[in-house]
Structure 1
Amino acid sequence: MAVSRILARPLLASFFVASGIDSLRNAETIAPGAKPVTDRFVPLVEKAVPQAPVPTNPVTWIRINGAVQIAAAAALATGHFPRIASGVLAASLVPSTAARYRFWETSDPHERREQLTHFAKNASLAGGLMIAAGDTEGRPGLAWRARRAARDARREARHLAHSAKREAKLVKAELT
């Protein structure tokens, strides 16, 4: 594994460990800001999975998001399923950013600038996570393997067609 991956993954994950711990410790404080997000999110989840028990309390969702961030960050930092962990972290970043950094609702210029800075930071983290989620560590990805398999199948089909024509000519020559 490249040294850059050995260093970059734990560094990227460290933010999410800290953020997850903060979410678990301060869920009640964060909940009022998260309520508009959870109010929109809960009906979507209930519609998608009607039989599942879906919590409606914003504090519960904040704690769930914090626990998911800690678990996925630990997986990313240790190199266990780094692509999946990066995708999970990117997905968890969306509701937490929408809940905490809604700069467009703030009228105070100083607070708006702070919110916008944090929003941009989270957008940058999302970009890094997308890169990490697509990192195959130099091994062929699924798309490359699929193209390669299709090319090999076409080549084998041409070979089989050519062999079948040759065999047909030989059989025809023997019969005549």
Structure 2
Amino acid sequence: MSLLRLVGRPLLASMFVAGGMSSVRSPKDVTPLAEPVVNPIRERVPVLPERTEQVVRLSGGVQVAAGVLLGLGRMPRLSALALAATLVPTTLAGHRYWDAEDDSTRAQQRIHFLKNLSMLGGLLIAADDTGGAPSMLWRSRHTARGLQRNAGLVRRTVRATAGPAAAVGGIKARLPH
């Protein structure tokens, strides 16, 4: 693993572990902000809990677990995708700068909104990062091409040897025993 990955993943994950712990410990602090975002999501994803407080706690738990895994470099691509999935509703719920009434609050919320967009970009890059190793999709395609090449080689070999083998077999059949 490169030094940049070794240092960068825990740095990226730290914000999610800290924020997730806060959501797990005291979800009531953000439940009023989350309500307008959670309700439309709950309509599309019926497996989510009924109470917004539980959804906030669940999201926080996902952030803690995925953040720790990303920081440790375990399943980093899946962890980054999970964090990205929780970051979008968190950003839309927590940093609605367009609804802020005074200019200083609007400016501060816009900064946080853009910071979260930057973190989302980092997570998407981390989700695409194979760490120098080929992805599963590439490996499966590469293996399939190799199998096709080998099958073609076997087919050509059988064709090339079938004629002479048949001729030898015919000659042997005519010889006295």
Q: Same fold (TM over 0.5)?
A: yes
- Extract unaligned runs of 5+ from structure 1: none
Matched, 1:151 2:145: yes
Using the TM superposition, give the Cα deviation of residue 134 of structure 1 relative to its aligned residue in structure 2, in angstroms: 2.1
| Larger-gyration structure (1/2) | 2
Using the TM superposition, give the Cα deviation of residue 167 of structure 1 relative to its aligned residue in structure 2, in angstroms: 2.1
| Residues 132-167 of structure 1, C-alpha deviations (whole Å, 9 max, x = no match) | 122222112112212211221221122012111112
1:163 corresponds in structure 2 to: 157
Matched, 1:100 2:94: yes
**Residues in 2 aligned to 1:136 and 1:55: alpha-carbon distance in whole angstroms:** 34
Residues 38 and 56 of structure 1 are in contact (CA less than 8 Å); yes or no, is this contact kept in structure 2? no
1:30 corresponds in structure 2 to: 30
Where 2:132 maps in the other structure, the secondary structure is: coil
1:111 corresponds in structure 2 to: 105
- Extract unaligned runs of 5+ from structure 2: 172-177
Tell me the TM-score normalized by structure 1.
0.86
Q: How many residues align?
A: 170
**Residues in 2 aligned to 1:38 and 1:113: alpha-carbon distance in whole angstroms:** 24
Quote the sequence identity (%): 40
2:71 corresponds in structure 1 to: 77
**Residues in 2 aligned to 1:104 and 1:170: alpha-carbon distance in whole angstroms:** 81
1:15 corresponds in structure 2 to: 15
The residue identity in structure 2 corresponding to 1:23 is: S
The residue identity in structure 2 corresponding to 1:33 is: L
Using the TM superposition, give the Cα deviation of residue 21 of structure 1 relative to its aligned residue in structure 2, in angstroms: 2.5
CA RMSD of aligned residues (A): 1.9
2:40 corresponds in structure 1 to: 40
